[in-house]
Amino acid sequence: MKACYPGTFDPITKGHLDIIERSAKLVDELVVLIMVNPRKTCLFTAEERKKMIEDCLCEVGSPANVRVEIGSGLTVEYARALGCRQIVRGIRAVTDYEYELQQATANMMIDESIETTFFIAKPEFSFLSSSVVKEIASNHGDISRMVPAAICEEVLRKY
């Protein structure tokens, strides 16, 4: 089975990387899908995020069945075009669940043959988001436990 893990990944965190590693074990192919949303202001370009994710995957010895793509539009339609039968999402807290439930239900209405699979964040990543990383980095805080070493300096350089 082929799955995609969509997100903004601005920047990728250790929590994202954990979901990638765990979900890649359960599918034949996993596409980490950087979704471009023109309504969202990102710190990094889509191409920079793609390279950062690829660098992080190399650092941890990524499984051979993981690749990174950039997409736009509706995630479920992009997943269908890629031949994915599954969308992977991470949940950190109840608020994530409420949002993800709405998205998964909307996706079902568009294409009920594509399932959404939720991965619960490990406790050490339950607070972690790209927004938290950017807030701490913008105030020159230590983000080394939040983002992979391969990109830590790159994130800090933006500030």
Q: Catalytic: 22?
A: no
Q: Catalytic: 130?
A: yes
Neighbours of 72 (CB within 10 A): 12
128 near 146, Cβ under 8 Å?
A: yes
Catalytic annotation, pick one of 23, 49, 62, 130: 130
**Rounded Cα gap, residues 109 and 101, in angstroms:** 12
Catalytic annotation, pick one of 16, 49, 89, 134: 16
Catalytic annotation, pick one of 51, 92, 122, 129: 92
Q: Catalytic: 50?
A: no
Q: Catalytic: 49?
A: no
Please choose, from the candidates 110, 69, 107, the residue with its C-alpha nearest in 3D space to the C-alpha of residue 87.
Answer: 107
Catalytic annotation, pick one of 25, 39, 40, 145: 40
* Residues marked as catalytic: 16, 40, 92, 130
